[in-house]
Structure formats: structure tokens, C-alpha cells
């Protein structure tokens, strides 16, 4: 047991970690830790707060629902708070939950057990039987209004028939079937984009697309499991089982493997059975949700700040296996990063055969003491991404030695270096390293850069390996006849690909800058540079000191950009791109600096601008657009149905603009 000072320090550290992981999970759809690791941190914090009640705060993640509404969409205020669930990690914790319910009600209790879908929590609102709103859970009070995207999910009824309630709000999960999830990740990997960590994040990423057509193409599904608000002359149900039957009768998709129990031991057996059977389903589940079946009993049991006392989620343990590490392969990325990959004897994990897992960098290898020949413990993070947890030193061969990444690049034999404050080891070969050139070409053709439709990783690798392309400029000299040599490439496909290459010449300067693969220059930095300089020529002539002076650029980016354009081989490629007719001008350049030093926040729905259009206009006049209100905010632009940010702006005395007032300033 820690003393108070150490407990205070550890609690602060845990809150910061959990806040970071919440942002990654709920807002960025890109978690860096598994659900199990997150749950263990949350439990550690709960334990400290229970030991020292003075550490418990209303803002602690143990007291709040984890999500928050993202600013890309309008906001929707839920009629009733949408809670998150407490977790049970083993059989004893399930028994404790049942005991608490039994003692609170002073009698035996019936429960329903339902599959815990690995998806995105969603509320649907119907008025007079017509679907009016689809919204995410958010922080339980305010979610994102994603109605346009919900309308593209095929199995969500857009209207109800029969004796429908005046107002109905239901809750469920939007999910991606396993096949759709695998297809999306395969395509993203082919296009050089980061893959989704798990189906939940893929579903969330899909629902946050600004283009509803993307949602339709990704074939999301839904399971509805709760009625959270009802205006009706008659109460149609009194139990969870009856509620599920009623939802099904109204045309909602309801998961079919739920069951009702009065015997706690049979309930536990059901949870353990599905721990083994979970991979039989064509959608991911990460546990079993147990609810008190009688709705009147739920009213008596009530809620904590964060969770209902009448429900709990039994979380499946991570699927782990022991195996032997056969080798460590080293791959070289487009920026020269050496990435070690563990190759081990195949094992069954989460229903699939796994034989490889990324080891990320030398620090991870050292921290987990991983050596070739070791017996290792592997698992699938979130039942999706394989990872090596640690070695088993007590089973280690006597002659084993610590593993070190190579001092020279395994592809081009150039020296490798590790720069200060970086965990990555890098090849110094640059454009003489075939691996970097190949990965750079894959990045160049991807959707967020030059968007050459039909040219993915496999096509680029073939073109490179056959000597038809050695740098980005070579793409613009290809002929349809040369493309016919590629696997599965017919005349029509070759003609379409040549047209896609031609179309890419019209891409904006910001896309070209990002496509060049300049180290430290991501999508945002490329957009800033394009707006600031307006043309490729102006950017190429900029001195490092001039670059440092640009807001949102910084020292690292400035040094990297200046270095890139100082290299003769890079300039030669750029001149060939110019000769091919690639656009070197920005369509979003800074027109003037009237908003220089001013920070805007946008909230609500604007009548004449999309959120992205308003953002681009403000930035084109030197302003900055932020997603959160603070004392440093200059203006809040409030559209229709502005949410909590309007109240916060008033409290902070931030000047509030209507859409007309913003237009007048522009």
C-alpha cells in the first residue's frame, strides 16, 4: 500500500495516461494500448481512490463516461444520460455483482446475458415512427450528430410501422463484420495508410467520415439492445427479454445469442462458454453484458456517476499463447526507419493462425528482453493485432544472446543512426536505398497525396522491381503498353490507370508537398506550407530561418524542409515533375493576414459553409482554427444548435460571432 504522497503522484500519473488513451480511443479512433491494459490502469486508479477517498475527484476518469463529441459534426444532447458499464474480469467478480444485486433487492434476481459487440455506441431517435437523429454516446450527455451517416446503414430502419410511439430513443452498437474489417484494413495497407487497430475503431472511423457514401460502401451493421426514452400511451414491456422481443418486432436488428438466467452459476458457465466460442461469430465480441432482467428492479438499483448498478460487462481475457521465436526480420520504411518483426512458430490466436508480430524498435526488444530462440508469450491486442508480450527467460537456451538491430541497412548497407530523442533506428541511404524509394512511391500514389486511383502497393512494387519506375517523376512517363506487363492488368485497366496518373497532375500543392515524403512533414504541415508560400518555387527558395518563423511549422520541420530542397537529386525529381505538368500552385494560399494571431472555434451548424469550408476561409486569411475553447480563443463562431461550447465561451468572455458576422469579417 502506497503512502499518501506516492499515491497522489501515481493517481495523477494514471489520470494523465488514461486521458491520453481516452483521446486515442474515442476521438482519434487509434488506440495505442489494448482494452485489457486500459482496464488494468483504470482499476489501479479506482483502487488508489478507494484507499484514499480524498484523491477521488468528480473529473476523474473513474467517475466519467470516457468519450467526448468530436467537433467535425454537430452535437446532440441525449434526453437521458448514456452510461458506460463497469467490468468484471473473472468469475468471482460476477458472483460479487450478483450478490450486490440480491442483497440490494433482498431476493433472488433474474438476469439477461447478451453479446458485448465490439462496435461504436449509437443512439437513434424516432419521431412519429420516422428516424430523425443518429448520435454517438459522446460523454453520455452530448454526442456527435451523425444522422447523415446513420441513414446509410442498411439494417437500421428509417421508419417504423404499426402502433409507433410519439418519440422513441433506442441505443445499440454500430459494428463492422469481420470480413468488411479485413477488407478495409487490406485496402488501407495497400494504399500506404495506417490500418485500424480493431473493428470498434474502424466502425468509429467510418461513422466520422464526412462523406456518407463511405459508410454505405463499408457495409456497417447494427445491433439494438435498449430503449432509453419512450413517449407512448402504453408501456410495451417490463423486462429486458420483452424489450428485445419488442425491438425485433419493430424491425431493429437484435443479436440472437442472448439468454435469460435465474441461476448465477449457469450464467457464469454461459460467459465461460462464449469465451471459447467468440470466434464462431462473423462479428467481433469482447465480452458478455449481464443485466438485471426486470426493468422495475433496475429503477430500485439505480446508478453510480458512471455506470448502472444493475449491469456489468464480463470482459474476455486476452487470447495468449506460448511459442518459439525463430527469427527477427528487419524492414525499412519510406523514411528509413528500421522496423523489427518477430517471426515465430505459428500459433492459434483469436481464431486465426499467427506467425509474425511487430517489435517496433530496439527499446521494446530491450524492455521485454526478447532474443532469437526464446520461448515467448504472444497475444492479439483487442483480438486483432498480434504482439509479443515478453520472453520466458526460465525457458531460454543457454547460448542465447541479446538482440541488437544492425549497424548497417539490411537493404543498401548504408550506416544506420539513432537520432537524439528518437526511439527509431534509421538508414542514412536516402534515395540510394531501394526500400525507402519503394515505400516512398507507395506513399506518393496514395489517396491523401496524389490519389492515383488503381495504383496500390502491389503495382508500385512490380513497376519498381521491373525497373520501370525508380522515382516519382518516372510515373508520369509510363505508357499503357508498359502497364500491360503487370499482373492482372488488361487494356481497359491500363488505360484507366494512365488516366488516373494524368488526373493526379491537378492535385493541389499541399498534396504534392505531402507526397514528396519530406521527413516530419505530415498532412497538416504540408497544408500550412502550401498556403503560406503559394507555389513550389517559393517554398524551394525559402531559408530555414524563414520557415521557422511560420506558425505551426517549428524547428524540426523547418530544418527537414530546408535540407530536403538543398539536395540536388530531390531538385532533379521536382524539375521532372514540373516538366510532366504536375501542378505547383496552391488553391488555398494565404490571401492576407487580417486574422493573424487570432484563434477561432466553430460550433453548431453553419448555413452557408461546411465546417471545412469555414476553416479553409479563416486560415486563408491568416487565422487559426482550434477544436477547443480556452482563454486564448479570439472568436467562437456559433451556428444553429450550438452546444456546450457556447456556454463555455460566455463564461470565459470570448467574443461570439454569428455566421453573418463571420461573413462580414471575411
The residues with which 44 forms a beta bridge, in sequence order, are: none
DSSP state of 506: G
CA 28 to chain centre: 5
Q: Give the three-class secondary structure for 241.
A: helix
Q: Give the three-class secondary structure for 573.
A: helix
Supply the DSSP string of 154-176, one letter for each residue. Answer: TTS-SB--SS--SEEEEEEEEE-
| Cβ contact 240:291 at 8 Å | yes
- Residue 334: phi and psi, rounded to 5, are -70, -25
Dist. CA 481–CA 478, nearest whole Å: 8
Dist. CA 74–CA 640, nearest whole Å: 9
Burial of 380 (0-12, 13-18, 19+ CB in 10 A): buried
Dist. CA 492–CA 48, nearest whole Å: 65
Which segments of 466-610 does DSSP mark as H helices, in order? 480-483, 491-503, 509-515, 523-533, 536-541, 544-548, 554-566, 568-580
* Options 6, 56, 81, 116, the catalytic residue: 116
Dist. CA 43–CA 54, nearest whole Å: 17
Question: Could you give the C-alpha distances from 480 to 475, 581, 666, in angstroms and in order?
Answer: 11, 18, 47
Does the active-site annotation cover 458? Answer: no
Residue owning grid cell 489517396: 447
Q: What angle do CA 106, 108, 114 make, to 5 degrees?
A: 125
DSSP state of 476: G
Residue 30 makes CB contacts below 8 A (sequence gap 6+) with: 24, 194, 197, 201
Active site amino acids: 116
Amino acid at each position: 500500500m502506497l503512502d499518501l504522497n506516492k499515491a497522489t503522484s501515481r493517481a495523477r500519473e494514471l489520470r494523465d495516461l488514461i486521458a491520453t488513451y481516452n483521446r486515442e480511443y474515442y476521438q482519434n479512433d487509434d488506440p495505442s494500448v489494448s482494452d485489457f491494459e486500459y482496464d488494468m490502469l483504470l482499476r489501479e486508479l479506482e483502487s488508489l481512490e478507494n484507499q484514499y477517498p480524498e484523491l477521488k475527484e468528480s473529473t476523474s476518469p473513474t467517475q466519467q463516461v470516457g468519450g467526448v463529441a468530436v467537433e467535425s459534426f454537430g452535437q446532440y444532447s441525449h434526453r437521458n444520460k448514456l452510461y458506460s458499464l463497469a467490468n468484471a474480469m473473472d468469475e468471482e467478480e460476477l458472483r460479487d455483482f450478483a450478490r450486490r444485486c440480491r442483497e440490494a433487492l433482498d431476493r433472488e434476481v433474474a438476469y439477461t446475458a447478451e453479446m458485448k459487440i465490439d462496435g461504436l455506441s449509437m443512439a437513434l431517435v424516432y419521431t412519429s415512427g420516422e428516424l430523425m437523429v443518429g448520435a454517438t454516446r459522446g460523454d453520455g450527455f452530448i454526442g456527435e450528430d451523425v444522422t447523415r451517416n446513420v441513414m446509410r446503414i442498411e439494417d437500421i430502419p428509417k421508419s417504423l410501422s404499426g402502433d409507433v410511439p410519439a418519440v422513441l430513443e433506442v441505443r445499440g452498437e454500430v459494428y463492422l463484420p469481420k470480413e468488411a474489417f479485413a477488407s478495409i484494413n487490406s485496402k488501407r495497407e495497400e494504399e500506404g495508410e495506417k490500418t485500424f487497430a480493431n473493428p470498434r475503431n474502424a466502425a468509429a472511423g467510418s461513422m466520422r467520415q464526412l462523406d456518407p457514401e463511405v459508410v454505405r460502401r463499408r457495409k456497417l451493421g447494427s445491433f439494438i439492445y435498449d430503449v432509453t426514452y419512450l413517449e407512448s400511451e402504453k408501456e410495451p414491456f417490463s423486462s429486458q427479454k420483452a424489450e428485445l422481443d419488442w425491438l425485433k418486432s419493430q424491425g431493429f436488428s437484435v443479436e440472437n445469442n442472448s439468454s435469460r438466467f435465474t441461476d448465477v452459476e449457469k450464467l457464469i458457465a454461459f460467459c465461460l462458454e462464449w469465451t471459447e466460442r467468440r470466434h464462431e461469430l462473423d462479428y467481433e465480441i469482447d465480452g458478455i453484458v449481464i443485466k438485471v432482467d426486470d426493468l422495475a428492479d433496475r429503477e430500485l438499483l439505480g446508478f453510480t456517476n458512471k455506470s448502472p448498478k444493475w449491469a456489468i460487462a464480463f470482459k474476455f481475457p486476452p487470447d495468449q499463447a506460448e511459442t518459439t521465436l525463430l527469427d527477427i526480420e528487419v524492414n525499412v520504411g519510406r523514411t528509413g526507419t528500421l522496423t523489427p518483426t518477430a517471426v515465430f512458430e505459428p500459433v492459434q490466436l483469436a481464431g486465426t493462425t499467427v506467425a509474425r508480430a511487430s517489435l517496433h524498435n530496439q527499446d521494446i526488444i530491450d524492455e521485454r528482453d526478447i532474443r532469437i530462440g526464446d520461448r515467448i508469450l504472444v497475444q492479439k491486442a483487442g483480438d486483432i493485432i498480434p504482439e509479443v508480450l515478453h520472453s520466458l527467460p526460465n525457458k531460454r537456451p543457454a547460448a542465447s544472446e541479446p538482440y541488437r538491430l544492425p549497424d548497417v541497412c539490411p537493404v543498401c548497407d548504408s550506416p544506420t543512426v539513432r537520432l537524439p530523442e528518437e526511439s527509431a533506428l534509421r538508414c542514412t541511404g536516402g534515395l540510394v536505398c531501394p526500400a525507402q524509394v519503394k515505400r516512398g512511391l507507395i506513399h506518393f500514389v496514395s489517396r491523401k497525396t496524389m490519389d492515383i486511383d488503381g495504383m496500390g502497393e502491389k503495382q508500385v512494387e512490380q513497376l519498381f522491381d521491373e525497373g520501370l519506375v525508380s522515382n516519382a517523376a518516372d510515373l508520369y512517363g509510363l505508357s499503357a503498353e508498359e502497364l500491360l506487363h503487370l499482373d492482372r492488368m488488361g487494356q481497359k485497366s491500363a488505360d484507366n490507370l494512365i488516366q488516373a496518373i494524368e488526373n493526379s497532375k491537378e492535385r493541389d500543392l499541399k498534396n504534392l508537398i505531402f507526397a514528396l515524403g519530406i521527413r516530419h512533414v505530415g498532412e497538416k504541415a504540408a497544408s500550412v506550407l502550401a498556403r503560406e508560400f503559394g507555389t513550389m518555387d517559393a517554398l524551394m527558395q525559402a531559408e530555414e530561418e524563414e520557415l521557422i518563423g511560420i506558425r505551426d511549422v517549428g524547428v524540426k520541420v523547418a530544418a527537414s524542409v530546408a535540407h530536403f530542397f538543398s539536395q540536388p537529386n530531390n531538385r532533379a525529381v521536382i524539375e521532372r515533375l514540373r516538366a510532366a505538368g504536375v501542378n505547383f500552385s496552391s488553391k488555398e494560399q494565404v490571401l492576407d493576414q487580417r486574422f493573424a494571431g487570432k484563434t477561432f472555434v466553430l460550433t453548431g451548424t453553419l448555413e452557408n459553409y461546411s465546417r471545412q469550408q469555414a476553416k479553409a476561409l479563416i486560415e486563408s486569411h491568416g487565422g487559426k482554427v482550434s477544436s477547443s475553447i480556452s482563454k486564448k480563443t479570439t472568436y467562437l463562431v456559433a451556428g444553429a444548435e450550438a452546444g456546450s461550447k457556447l456556454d463555455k465561451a460566455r463564461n470565459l468572455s470570448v467574443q461570439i460571432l454569428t455566421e453573418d458576422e463571420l461573413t462580414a469579417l471575411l
